[in-house]
Amino acid sequence: MQRYQNLLVCLNLSDQDEDLIRYARLLAERAGSRQVAFMHIMGNPEVPATVYNQYPSLIDAPDQFAIQQMEEKVRTHFGNLDHCRLSFKIISGSPLDSLLRFARSESTDLILIGRRRDTSRTRRLSEKLTHKAPCPVLVFPEGNPVRIRRIMIATDFSDHASRALDAALAFARSAQAEDLYCFHAYSVPENYEVTGQSYQDFSAFLLRQASEAYARSIQGINPGNIDLIPVFEQSGDLSSAIQNFANREKIDLVIVGARGAGSGIVDALGSTTETLLQTMALPLLSIKQKGESGQVLDLLFKK
């Protein structure tokens, strides 16, 4: 997993951070990451200038306290890795803009962000971050075990999905996963009768098409020690099919291909990624080519 050398971990200084930090440790250890930055983004409290004038220590106190909290949490749940340099960042302002600026300026390879189950705030942030970030984003909902054994990737066999499969295999190898399920859902169109085939025959035709597309997509791919398993399911609701399979097979991580901001493309798999970010309780890794949103961010943060 040489492509994941520089990680960014977003902390909110709550109990939720503990499993996220342990997950980051697992990835950094197995990927041989060289740098992990832990970041906490503080709001901008409206404190009158007269208060700051009387108590100037308030200006630096929040940052110092937050840094101490971060260091204690990381020391307890991450520990030390000889090959990995750790850094701690406290930033004030918009969470989304702050994360995008940092990831862009530091050439981040992977962003890890937690998500609470009882609030929509972190859900909205993870959705926007996945869409706009210049690198892959891994969303880790609270309550999940810290392990990566069984992985699934949703695919539509497009060129974009093929690149995501290559990245998923690299991730699975370095994470020392056991299984990688390549999941494809297909559905029979309502007007199938114009083909002259029965519902069953046309369904069988679509299944053959999917099987052939899968065979083409893995040509030249060496999965190594990973057991690459194709899965074809007939379903008209792709996001539900993915979640049902993941829950049934006790999947640890779901991988999808995410198109960057400015791609101008809206497709079934792309809209499914949005739905999964909103509803799924399992860890979700959204793969994109590094720098894919770069031009949009250059315009957004142009000085």
Give the side-chain half-sphere CA count within 13 A for 34.
7
Give the start-end residues of each E strand in 136-289.
Answer: 137-141, 150-154, 179-186, 227-234, 253-257, 284-287
- The predicted-structure confidence for 7-34, as pLDDT tens digits, reads as follows 999 999 988 899 999 999 999 998 899 9
User: Dihedrals φ, ψ of 290, to 5°?
Assistant: -60, 135
Where does 6-300 sit in CATH, by number? Answer: 3.40.50.12370
Of 127-131, 228-232, 269-273, 282-286, least confident by mean pLDDT is: 269-273
| 36 or 266, greater pLDDT | 36
Query: What pLDDT was estimated at residue 270?
Result: 65
Query: What pLDDT was estimated at residue 208?
Result: 97
Instruction: Provide the pLDDT confidence category of residue 179 given band limits of 50, 70 and 90.
Output: very high
pTM over 0.95: no
**Left, alpha or beta for 22 (phi > 0: left; psi -120 to 50: alpha)?**
alpha
- The predicted-structure confidence for 67-122, as pLDDT tens digits, reads as follows 999 999 999 999 999 999 999 999 888 899 999 999 999 999 999 999 987 666 66
- The predicted-structure confidence for 139-160, as pLDDT tens digits, reads as follows 999 999 999 999 999 998 888 7
